[in-house]
Amino acid sequence: MTTDVIQLENVWKIFGDNSEQAMKAIRDEGLDKAAVLERFGCVVGIADVSFTVPRGEIFCIMGLSGSGKSTLIRHLNRLIEPTAGKIKVLERDMSALDDKELRGVRAKHIGMVFQHMALLPHRTVLDNVAFPLEVQKVPKFKRWEISQHALSLVNLDGFEYRLPHQLSGGMQQRVGLARALASDPEVLLMDEPFSALDPLIRHELQNQFVSLTKTLQKTTVFITHDLDEAIRIGDRIAIMKDGRLIQTGTPEEIVMHPADDYVADFVKGISNLKLVSAHSIMAQLNSDTVPADVDLGAAIRTDENTSLEELIDLSVTTDLPIVITDETGAEVGIVSKDTLLTGIKGKGDE
């Protein structure tokens, strides 16, 4: 039994009437996107995507519009059928489910939040949140009780009997989130949920969302076009371009070691102070790095996961280099003021 809640293996999605032949041609002849469009009139939406998401992780998929990220997330609850490849959610092979099973999985195990909320305009907030439970034929009173609780999780007590259009955009999106949480699903799919909101509300909702999913232990796939948002929210980030995942890693890995120029371009403007930790920039402890006249005994010691921001704070209080220790307390490296400055400047190798 693995802890991977979501597993994707070589998933392809080709749009168009001749998608099967196009898929075959890609397999046999290795056609590229442009050639497929020309020969079959088919558009390649998702190209050979594989990833896994372990339980409780927030997995961000970042890409610009048209990169296929929204298409990809819709494969996870089979709103879109893959042309090829395997998709497993909670140990279930999604393609093998029949209609009824699929509806059950969608209602019970996968919650989804949309960029444009997709609330039912003719229903009250409470009935909107209760919709997934209604689909599961939960009795009315029970589902209202549960929905009430879900609404209080997103701080929307007292708005139960309003209609969606009477609420602000941020509140509507919280209703969307409450609806996704109502049937207590293991998996949350977030399709650019905060993109349409103004920056202040967005920031507030991001924080609320992270603390909520962490306490509720939801496995989340989060789509965004905003790298800042991905870094703030994601445990891991995948960068998507033209239907392919071009790099997957922790925010720190992405910022420190961009896989190619495209990713590098993206992360250029990102501040690394909070992302990069001491072990990424520290020097080895040896005679080259430690000047003979320095007594390290008086130096400050800190954990190797200390961020650059904290290192700066420590560094202004002392003239000595800072000694870095691992979890066991053993000295593993040293950060001098020079190393720190180079680290802040970033990407070391530049």
Residues that bind other proteins (CB under 8 A): 77, 79, 102-108, 110-112, 114, 116-124, 131-132, 135-136, 163, 165-166, 179, 183, 189
Q: Nearer Cβ to other proteins, position 83 or 183?
A: 183
Q: Nearer Cβ to other proteins, position 135 or 332?
A: 135
What φ, ψ does residue 30 adopt, rounded to 5°? 65, 40
Q: Nearer Cβ to other proteins, position 81 or 338?
A: 81
Identify whether the C-beta of residue 31 lies closer than 8 Å to the C-beta of residue 12: no
Q: Nearer Cβ to other proteins, position 86 or 116?
A: 116
- Going through the chain in order, the beta strands assigned E by DSSP cover 4-15, 43-54, 58-63, 84-89, 92-93, 110-113, 187-191, 219-224, 236-241, 244-249, 301-303, 322-325, 331-335
Residues whose CB falls within 8 Å of the CB of residue 78, separated by 6 or more in sequence, listed in order? 87, 94, 95, 97, 102
What is the C-alpha radius of gyration for the chain, rounded to an integer number of angstroms?
A: 24
At which residue do the structure tokens 């997995």 appear? 59
Residue 199 structure tokens? 């920056």
Q: How far is the CB of 179 from other proteins (least distance, A)?
A: 7
Q: Nearer Cβ to other proteins, position 79 or 320?
A: 79
Residues whose CB falls within 8 Å of the CB of residue 246, separated by 6 or more in sequence, listed in order? 239, 240, 259, 260, 262, 263
